[in-house]
Amino acid sequence: MSDRPITLLSRKEVCRNTVFTVYFDHIRDATGNEVVDFLSVVPHHRTVSGVTGVAVLPVLGGTFGLLRVYRHPLGEYGWEVVRGFVDANETPATAALRELQEEAGLIATHQSLRELGTLAPESGVLEARVRLFAAEGCTPGSGAPGNEMGHGEMKYFTRDALIGMIERSEIMDPCTLVCCYKYLGASS
């Protein structure tokens, strides 16, 4: 299959909320194939390098923190790393530290963050890039984590338990899987 450019002929805004704008794009490739209502979901904030979100694997005393999160579109709970959006004029590292505090009640420093790369979570629909981190040496903060919709308990797992959860498909979120694989692979 060749790598042909696609041309955006027109864009129609379908809806927006505080985080995303949803468009129907009319696109055409070099051979004349067209899609009239190609769905594109575009986050409102991004860094200069196109990063729109962060995902952070908390590492605390040789264990790995995951949140139990209910995902409405799937209708079920899953185990995930701390995740969130980059706010306007915020660096990915600063967003990662903020999300750790907000979602898990954990404190980390810029020096404790280990970059694990960038991921396009659903490149066929979502115009987004997520910067991945591990936060080594996290400490519990003084405040309680925020009450975000769908978020449950924060639990810490050993390396073997984490690998078992991955093998049993108890972890399905792509950001979580890539953070775990990259961190565990780099640490072995």
- pLDDT tens readout for residues 7-25: 999 999 999 999 999 999 9
As beta bridge partners, residue 134 has: 57, 114
Exposed/middle/buried for 165, CB within 10 Å: 0-12, 13-18, 19+?
middle
pLDDT at 142: 67
pLDDT at 187: 60
User: What is the average pLDDT across 169-186?
Assistant: 93
pLDDT at 133: 97
Closest CA to 175 of 22, 38, 71: 71
**Which two structure tokens, joined as six digits, stand for 165?**
């959860």
- In the chain, the DSSP E strands lie at 6-16, 20-29, 34-43, 53-60, 63-71, 76-80, 82-85, 106-107, 113-119, 130-136, 139-140, 151-157
* pTM for the predicted model, two decimal places: 0.89
Task: Give 140's pLDDT tier (boundaries 50, 70, 90).
Answer: confident
Please determine, for residue 188, whether its predicted confidence score (pLDDT) is greater than 60. no
What does DSSP assign to residue 19? S
User: What is the average pLDDT across 110-136?
Assistant: 94
Task: Give 178's pLDDT tier (boundaries 50, 70, 90).
Answer: very high
Architecture of domain 53-187: Alpha-Beta Complex (3.90)
User: Across all residues in the chain, what is the average pLDDT?
Assistant: 90
% residues pLDDT > 90 (the chain): 71
Please determine, for residue 28, whether its predicted confidence score (pLDDT) is greater than 80. yes
Please determine, for residue 45, whether its predicted confidence score (pLDDT) is greater than 80. yes
Please determine, for residue 146, whether its predicted confidence score (pLDDT) is greater than 80. no
Considering the chain, tell me which residue range(s) the CATH 3.90.79.10 domain(s) occupy.
53-187
pLDDT at 1: 45
65-86: pLDDT as tens digits: 999 999 888 898 999 999 999 9
pLDDT at 128: 92
90-118: pLDDT as tens digits: 999 999 999 999 999 999 999 999 999 99
